[in-house]
Amino acid sequence: MMKKTLLAVSLACTAGGLPPQAFAQTAAATPEHAFSGNLSLATEYRYRGIAQTDGKPTVQGGFDYAHASGLYAGTWWTNVSWLADAGGGTVSSSVEADFYGGYKGVAGDIGYDVGLLYYYYPGRYPSGFNSPDTVELYAAASWQMLTLKYSHSLTDLFGAVDSKGSGYLDLGASFDLGGGYMLAAHVGHQMIPAGSVGGVRVRSRSDCSYTDWKLGVSKEYVGLNWGLAYVGTDAKGDAGECYRNAFDRDLGKGTVVLSVGKTF
């Protein structure tokens, strides 16, 4: 399915014999219930451009259910380290579990998708810790190779205090290069509002808001989906800023990510 290092602030997608019309209808038929799964490995987990595993590899996987009506639901799991990294030894959390559901449909040439996504971080946290668990409402529209999506947080965003109402706008495009190669491009903007605790300002709107981008190529080979992408951001990652972790790493610094996966 950025985030997470916002905690630094709170802590400091032939029919033989049949006439042509009947064949077209048969080919287009959608099963009433469809199930699928996915599993992948990557050199690093980046979310909205921000490192989630401190430059280390990640294992990710999930399951999805889709109904012919357009309703769907699913779950996706991955390892993370950003919470423990930022917690100074007081936090024990190494898993992100996403649960989501929604509805997809088509209106003319436009595809649409609306749903709800819950990010869950099981673990051990000290008393008074602002929960990183997050709920987002999202809506997307697609036309030809373009997809525009907006996500709006209904809770504090990944543990950042007083960040309810944060928004992420995402524009993506995919292009068939031929020979089985696909090119994907993306740009997104994460907006995090100014925040206060007990009437004391702890964050301005510009402190943790940022833009991220990604350019990648993928191809299926020997039954696996291979991907190579460059990911970058303009997130503030200098000392004492939102996207600098306890190991003095700029979590939004540009990097190349290699991935391999399988859908079944």
41's enclosing H/E stretch is strand 33-42
Residue 123 lies in a domain: yes
User: Which CATH number does the domain housing residue 81 bear?
Assistant: 2.40.160.40
Query: How many domains does the chain divide into?
Result: 1
- Taking 50 as the threshold, does the pLDDT of residue 11 lie above it? no
- Taking 60 as the threshold, does the pLDDT of residue 4 lie above it? no
Residue 1 lies in a domain: no
- What average pLDDT does the segment 91-109 reach? 97
- What average pLDDT does the segment 148-164 reach? 98
- Taking 50 as the threshold, does the pLDDT of residue 102 lie above it? yes
Residue 184 lies in a domain: yes
Q: How confident is the model at residue 48 (pLDDT cuts 50, 70, 90)?
A: very high
pLDDT digits (tens, 9 = 90+) for 206-260: 999 999 999 999 999 999 999 999 999 999 999 999 999 989 999 999 999 999 9
Buried/exposed code over 237-249 (b: 16+ C-beta within 10 A; e: otherwise): beeeebbbbeeeb
206's enclosing H/E stretch is helix 205-208
Residue 82 lies in a domain: yes
Where in the sequence is the domain holding 137, given as residue range(s)?
A: 7-263
pLDDT digits (tens, 9 = 90+) for 69-78: 999 999 999 9
pLDDT for res 28? 58
